[in-house]
Structure 1
Amino acid sequence: MKRIFYLIISLCWMAVGCEKTLNKEPLARIEVSQAYKTVDDAAKAVYAAYAPITLNNWTNQGYMHWVLGNVASDDTEKGGESGSDQLYAQQISLFNIPTDNDAIRFAWSSQYIGIRRANLVLENIPNITMDAALQSRYLAEAKFLRGWYYFNLVKTFGDIPLILSTTLPQYDLERIPKDKVYEQIIKDLQEAADGLPLAKDYANADRGRATKGAAQAYLGKVYLYLKDNPKAEEWFGKVITSNEYSLNDDYFSTFLRAGENSPENIFQGKFLNDQGAAPLNNIITTVFSSRARNGWGFNLPTQDFVDAFEPGDPRLWQTVFKNGDVMPDGLVGNVGNSTTGYLTKKAYVPEYEKLSGSINAGRDDIYMRLGKVLLWYAEAANENGNTDEALTALNDVRKRARQGDNVLPDVTERDKVKLRQLIWKEQRVEFGQEFERFFELVRQGRAGTVLRAYATKYNTPKGSGFQDGVNEIFPIPQSEINLSKGRLIQNHGY
């Protein structure tokens, strides 16, 4: 009996000891009050705010531009091994989207991570004793990033919580009207444009950071989404007339590693796969690569997308490839099990770009470039009745697209409605497979019409489930609604 008593006492002491051990505060955690003391702390905080742009792993796949921008549209089939392979993408392709869909969950969480980190920069870096010009630049970068993350969120989910402080209760926030969110995005981007340097003023080691031109370009894009064409034309025009950027003569090389610092590129997600012991790779090159080359075979360009190109347009075979095509490294193209017969050439990794045999290359995701700016400027100028300016910008893009061939004659159409359709068509092929198409269809007010027509034409369920007034935006992740205890209200129709 005495032995049992001592055993019980011992177990009790063990339990107390375990509780004390297991409930200790993390020893490696750095409190916010101690984390922002030096110039090096400031630099690390800004780097951290950029990181969600390149958040690209299988625990959290970041914003998932390829699913929300490509697969949701008529440009791309999901692909993969089967319909259930990466089911979240199949659900979005069919617009049968549950509120626990992984793509929307990743999109929400990754962008709010970026927003919190930008807010930490804005709240804490002003208290660090450092060079005033560098401090001002860091704050402008954070404002740009916060605006960029919020723009992704508002076009994806509509009304959302607007968080401008790190001290707000984490789960007690409600959604506010998207117009108010857009007001903050514009404010952040305008202040960023005032405080950011020109691209040419950055050192080579800092290439890829936000610039004045990037902030101006995104202001133009935001105003285009708000259907404020005069403002859109104004801000895109600032980028064009700055002469900071120029079209890359070789369209395809823009999407290779050699083209990452092209004078055409305005803003991109920067991957560094050739630096350091733990290189940062862009897994999208594996996701899009042929299963015949150990890729996963997702994001299959559709026949409808291929047919959108004019005869002889060199951009077609610089955007997609099919079996038998000669690739940039001299290999013969093999699309593996692609059900459309095509794969995305803009994501192809030539043998000479590989490191240690990996197809998971460190190639940048280019989000804003002059080719896009010119065509969005052309659209806004046309809507404003500035036909000459619209035609000049449109034809500049077509001239580059010819690449010396006798194709793609200049557009001379001056009727606003007809010219609008020609500009939209040019945008589709110029931006092909670059994560824009679905959101472009939505802002143009024709997503349902185009996607249901696609489903009918090709006798496929893809796009047939699109409901006007519902599927222009995606559902709020149910996990977020649960955490808010119902304060977050689900989007209509989900």
Structure 2
Amino acid sequence: MKKIIAIIVVSIAVIFSCSDDFLDKPSQGSLDVPENAEGVDLLLTAAYGLLDGVTQGTVGNEWWGAGDNWWVEALSDNSHKGSENNDQELLNDLQLYNWDASNSYFLGKWLALYGGIDRTNTVINFASRITGDFPAQVAEARFLRGHYHFELQRLYQNVPYIGEEDIFDPNKPNEGPIWDEIEADFQFAIENLPNTQDLPGRATRWAALAYKGKVHLYQQEWDEALPLFDEVITDGPHALHPNFISNFNFPDKNGIESIFSIQFAVNDGAPNNFNGNQGGTLNFPSAFGYCCGFYQPTQDLVNTFKTDGAGLPLLDTYSETDVTNDQGIESEDPFTPYAGELDPRLDFTVGRRGIEYNGFGVHIGKDWIRKQSDGGPYLPKKNVYQSDESDAQGTGAWGQQFPGINHNVIRYADVLLMAAEAAAELNELTKALEYVNEVRLRAKTTERVQAPGGGDAANYEVEPYGNFPDQAFAIKAVRFERRLELAMEGHRLFDLRRWGNAVEVMNEFFENESRLLPEAFINSTYMEKHNLFPIPTNAIDLSEGVLKQHSVW
């Protein structure tokens, strides 16, 4: 599907210019699209094309609107911005919580999401005015419109909802939450989407069910969320991959665990590998000649993977001591990796010294890090292809990496854990335990990272829970499991915000992480206002006062 997207977007980018100056003028232009089902599908494919947050003519840097939310994750306790502090200083300001509404990252995300909405509304209006009946295609467009609005709602909170009737007058006030409108889009999708699609990456009824459940989860509507998740789990075609790593490698993309994902492809004839993940181009180890050493996992994240003698996580004490790291140790100097018990998911999530790194060899330490004193000693792994996956390795115009690995917006493990969370909040502890343990059992039985001479690369030990003794313990266990399973996938900051504990967790993180980077967060404070992004200054100016800034900003 991504190859089709490139052909369309490269040739007709002008019609979707709304993303460049949203709330100034509607998208205008001419486009020779056949007025039939083929034309609907061409426009629909273009609407999928902005899931990655990048289009030809993107304002600013392509990573500002990145659809995988990597830089949002870098504002959490899971990831540092990485690289050097003076590279991408605007992102460094965000990581240090020196926020301002004029920061271009806020604007880039805003433009990308409203650009996607503009494309979905174009599909819906086009389908309504030509001969024929296109309920499934309109349902796909409304699914995508629900996705784009959901991202805006959880990032900025009060935002305008732009429907198909608003396409020529999108200058709408941001008067309140738009949850009802988002739910309506996903409900229409549930009622009109097929259970399967011929093309990978296209939305299905199962994806709509899972997404609507997620929308209810964000509103703490547990009793409405849980039945939707249960239907996906009980009746749907999805399941866990036997191996955890299959969610992040090229051969298994669009596999059984993938419910809805952003499709990426490279070496497919698109100019400069335009269909690769341009938004993630900064996040490759600079040691391999790649760009640019960003998106480095934190020590705090690494510590969460410690387990006790029974293979269970250290829910309350994980941050008291550190998994051994090589911060400040030269690559040629001796280093002994941590010998204690660890969850095996750690070494599929984080690249650390002494452990094999995605087929590129054993991580040698400091010489593989762009600037250890700024970003710490760790590398990301889930977003980086395996060394032998040539079909996933795409190069841009100046040598940057545009990988062809999909990004999972919703995968089955996520659904299991969202269902477990809803069950725990409803005090259905048996169901919550079952769903959490399904995830943990996969972690126990998955293939493991191996040492060069054979055998496990570390002392891996993970087991399912025997029971959840009470509701409070169940909620804590579910939340912790989400971090272990979904780390570095763009979920963490959103989870902390919706749980209402971001202020406490992030300020504790700033203090704890100072053991690794003593000066990094010395002046950083997470406040309640950081639970939402400010409306970009440019958007407010272009609206001529129709958009209002949040009172906290």
Selected match of 1:474 from 533, 539, 553: 533
Note if contact 1:157-1:475 (Cα within 8 Å) is conserved in structure 2. yes
Length, aligned pairs only: 454
Q: Does 1:361 align with 2:428?
A: no
Give the Cα separation in 1 of the matches to 2:221 and 2:512. 34
Map of 1:419-434 to 2, 5 A cutoff? 419-434=474-489
Assess, with a 3 A threshold, how the Cα gap between structure 1 residues 320 and 51 changes in structure 2: closer, same or farther: same
Relative to its length, the structure with more helix (as a share) is: 1
Q: 262, 272, 279: which is aligned to 2:265?
A: 272
Tell me, which stretches of 5 or more residues in structure 2 are unaligned? Answer: 1-27, 308-340, 396-400, 447-459, 515-519
Classify the secondary structure of the residue corresponding to 2:69: helix
**Within the alignment, does 1:345 sit opposite 2:378 as a pair?**
no
Distance, in Å, in 2 between the alignment partners of 1:480 and 1:345 is 35
Task: Give the one of 475, 480, 493 matched to 1:438.
Answer: 493
Deviation readout 1:123-178 (Å, 9 max, x if unpaired): 11133334x4xx22110000100000000000111111111135555463211210
Give the equivalent residue in structure 2 for 1:104.
106
Instruction: State which drifts further: 329-338 or 106-115.
Output: 329-338
Superposed, 1:40-439 pairs within 5 Å as: 40-56=38-54, 59-61=61-63, 62-63=65-66, 65-80=68-83, 82-130=84-132, 132=133, 135-165=134-164, 167=166, 170=169, 172-178=171-177, 181-198=178-195, 201-203=196-198, 206-278=199-271, 279=273, 280-284=275-279, 286-293=281-288, 294-309=290-305, 310=307, 311-333=341-363, 335-337=368-370, 338=372, 339-354=375-390, 358=395, 359-403=401-445, 407-439=462-494
Over the aligned positions, Cα root-mean-square deviation in angstroms equals: 2.1
Check 1:209–1:455 CA distance in 2 against 1; reply closer, same or farther (3 A cut): same
Identity of aligned residues (%): 30
Q: Give, as a single letter, the amino acid of the residue that structure 1 aligns with 2:108.
A: F
Contact 1:36 1:124 in 2 (8 A): no
SS at match of 1:259: coil
Question: Separation in 1 of the partners of 2:38 and 2:215?
Answer: 33
Residues 357-379 of structure 1, C-alpha deviations (whole Å, 9 max, x = no match): 74422111111001010011001
Amino acid at match of 2:77: D
**Amino acid in the other structure paired with 2:465:** D
Corresponding residue for residue 461 of structure 1:
521
Aligned to 2:319: none
SS in 1 for 2:284: coil
The equivalent position to 2:542 in structure 1, one of 460, 480, 483, is 483
Distance 1:182 1:285, change over 3 A: closer
Aligned partners of 1:480, 1:153: CA distance in 2, in Å? 13
Distance 2:394 2:500 in 1: 45
TM-score scaled to structure 2, two decimals? 0.78
Letter of the 1:217 counterpart? A
Normalised to the residue count of structure 1, the TM-score between the two structures is 0.87
Return the letter of the residue paired with 1:336: I
Deviation for aligned residue 1:36: 5.6
Q: Secondary structure at the match of 1:40?
A: helix
| Contact kept? 1:78, 1:89, Cα under 8 Å | yes
**Runs ≥4 in structure 1, deviation > 6 angstroms?**
none
**C-alpha displacement of 1:187:** 0.5
Q: Is the 8 A contact 2:257 2:413 kept in 1?
A: yes
| 8 Å CA contact 2:53, 2:279 repeated in 1 | no
Amino acid at match of 1:37: E
Indicate conservation of the 8 Å contact 1:60/1:110, yes or no: no
The answer to whether the 8 A contact 2:71-2:81 is kept is no
Please tell me whether Structure 1 or Structure 2 has the larger radius of gyration of its CA atoms: 1
